[in-house]
Amino acid sequence: RAGELGDRLQVSVYAVGGFVRDIMLSRPAVEFDDVDLVVEGDGIAFARALAQELGGRVREHRTFMTALIIYHDENGEEQRLDVATARLEYYKYPAALPTVELSSIKMDLFRRDFTINAMALRLNKGQFGCLVDFFGGQSDIQRKTIRIIHALSFVEDPTRIIRAVRFEQRYGFHISTQGEKLIKNALSLNLVEKLSGARILHELNLIFREDEPETCLRRLNELGVLAAIHPSLVLNADKNELLDSLREVIDWYRLLYFKETPELSTLYLMALCSAVPAIETADILHRLGLTPTMREEILSLRESVRMTLVELINWHRDTQKKGQAEQSVSRLCALLAPLPLESTLYLMARSDNEEISSSVSQYIYKWRQIKVDINGDDLHRLGLEPGPQFGSVMRMVLAAKLDGKAETREAQLKLAEE
Ligand code: CTP
């Protein structure tokens, strides 16, 4: 439809960037809802017309001559289409935002990061599907290479250093020799230091969402990028081990298909700052642009994990003793219930005691879900008045159920009555 509209409006329309790259890579999960379009002509006018056809709305960015179309597809799902105007960009100084001037598709592709991301597919009817590949993207895909299009690419946008690593590790490619030299050069010019914390954090968050974030983090470490962001971010053997077990825990949790998803940023930032003293950790988080409240939150999560781990060790020791094992589940649940999901998962990754980790995993997939089979009405019928007493009776009944002492509703009613 975009191509047909382009024909009618007499403008050339292309799909560009990651969408084309992933088609060329025959990636099984090409996301058709993540399409970037480029129009040789007035991109905003085109976006308005396309949004009208799709029954969607447009968010315009006049300064950049771009627009975002938000519409609902035939399944009623919200979809987003980015529309850009083919343009030539000038950068006022390194790491600054671009100023914009109109130009053609070749210039649009030239200003992009890597050759594999600088291919376009023509959408107009007569040439539908024709590949536009000025910079050898297709052959770099074959050679599994991340190649920078022009020598100033990292100077114009140093976040591309982090992107290069992300694509390299995601696809099992390698950054070209020239690319590695340009990264070293950018680092020696302190270009990463000049980036804002928010932009770095945005790129790191994209890495945390990859299938294997730890491989990207290791490569960033090897290239000296982590050190350039903050010297205390560098990896050591302990952090490496923690990153591996964190990924195992996250993968395990994903397979449970629970609705609640953990904040990956919180988990990975905790891991990257593990064993770093609190003041330095606050400094790293400040460097990454986190607000004082967010910094405080991560620091206090980390502290609560540390304290809970100590209590879990005591709990584990007690459960080994005779006569104590009976209340082990309810005691464990009472320790873990106040923690948010992120802390519980982090704790699982951090614990080097297998039995503790295994108990925490049972808490996450089983015990956390257990509810009592009686309700407030039942307690009322038993003559209890609503108030704090309700809560304490319910907690006691739940503890008994968790410990296998009151599994049926009848047993729970009897216990509540007593
Ligand atoms: N791009 C760029 N420089 C950047 C960011 C983006 O040149 N710093 C260009 C690339 O051509 C990229 C496109 O903009 O392909 C879209 O960027 P983005 O949506 O961030 O990434 P994708 O390539 O779609 O990758 P992903 O699979 O991670 O979404």
102 pLDDT more than 50: no
In this model, does residue 103 exceed pLDDT 50?
Answer: no
CA of 19 to the centre of ligand 1 (A): 9
With 0-12 / 13-18 / 19 or more C-beta atoms within 10 angstroms meaning exposed / middle / buried, residue 12 is: buried
Confidence tier at 29 by pLDDT (50, 70, 90): low
Ligand 1: which residue has its CA nearest to atom 22? 18
Beta carbon of 158 within 6 Å of any ligand 1 atom = no
Q: Is the CB of 112 under 6 A from ligand 1?
A: yes
- The response to whether residue 265 sits with its C-beta less than 6 Å from ligand 1 reads no
- The residue whose CA is least distant from atom 25 of ligand 1 is 18
Evaluate if residue 273 carries a pLDDT over 90.
yes
- Give the least confident one: 115-124, 209-218, 287-296, 327-336: 327-336
178 closest CA partner among 221, 93, 114, 228: 114
Q: What φ, ψ does residue 139 adopt, rounded to 5°?
A: -70, -30
CA gap 243, 405 in Å, rounded: 39
Question: Which protein residue's CA is at the shortest distance from atom 8 of ligand 1?
Answer: 160
Q: Given ligand 1 and candidates 25, 32, 36, which is best to mutate, with the most ligand atoms within 8 Å of its CB?
A: 36
Task: Determine whether the shortest distance from the Cβ of 117 to ligand 1 is under 6 A.
Answer: yes
Q: How many helices (H) and strands (E) does the chain have?
A: 22, 11
**How many angstroms separate the CA atoms of 251 and 240, rounded?**
17
How many angstroms separate the alpha carbon of residue 120 from the centre of ligand 1?
A: 13
Average pLDDT of span 213-241: 98
pLDDT of residue 179: 97
What is the model's pLDDT at position 364?
A: 95
Ligand 1 atom nearest residue 159's Cα: 8
Element spanning 58, H or E: strand 57-61
SS3 state at 213 = helix
Nearest to 266 by CA among 210, 336, 345: 345
User: Residue 100: is its pLDDT beyond 90?
Assistant: no
Strand partners of residue 87:
102
d(CA 215, CA 79): 31
Sheet with strand 131-132: strands edge to edge? 57-61, 66-72, 78-85, 34-40, 12-16, 120-122, 131-132
3-state percent breakdown (helix, strand, coil) of the chain, nearest 5: 60, 15, 30
Spell out a b/e string for 383-396, using b for 16 or more CB atoms within 10 Å of the CB, else e: eeeeeeebeebbeb
Dihedral (CA of 233, 239, 244, 248) sign: negative
Cα-atom radius of gyration of the chain, to the nearest Å? 27
**Interatomic CA distance for residues 351 and 308, integer angstroms:** 11
Task: Output the average pLDDT for the chain.
Answer: 91
Please state the pTM of the whole predicted model. Answer: 0.90
Complex confidence, ipTM: 0.97
pLDDT at 380: 87
Which of 88-102, 200-214, 331-345, 361-375 shows the lowest mean pLDDT across its residues? Answer: 88-102
Task: Give CA–CA dist 49/326, Å, rounded.
Answer: 69
Q: What is the pLDDT of residue 293?
A: 95
Tell me how far apart the alpha carbons of residues 108 and 41 are, in angstroms, rounded to a whole number.
Answer: 12
pLDDT at 326: 64
113 Cβ inside 6 Å of ligand 1: yes
Average pLDDT on 281-302 reads: 96
Which residue has the CA at smallest separation from atom 19 of ligand 1?
18
**Burial letters for 122-132: b for 16+ Cβ neighbours within 10 Å, e otherwise?**
bbbeeeeeeeb
CB 159 near ligand 1, within 6 Å: yes
Question: Which residue's CA is the closest to the ligand 1 atom numbered 16?
Answer: 17
User: Which atom of ligand 1 is least distant from the CA of 17?
Assistant: 15
Q: 7-21, 96-110, 132-146, 190-204: which range is least confident on average? A: 96-110
Per-residue pLDDT of 162-185, as tens digits, reads: 999 999 999 999 999 999 999 999
Question: What confidence score (pLDDT) does residue 384 get?
Answer: 83
Listed in sequence order, the residues at least 6 apart from 174 whose beta carbon sits closer than 8 Å to its beta carbon are 144, 145, 146, 168
In which residue are the tokens 């967010």 written?
Answer: 294
What does the alpha-carbon distance between residue 360 and residue 336 come to, in Å, rounded to a whole number?
8
Q: What is the pLDDT of residue 164?
A: 98
Atom 20 (ligand 1) nearest CA: 18
| Residues, the chain | 418
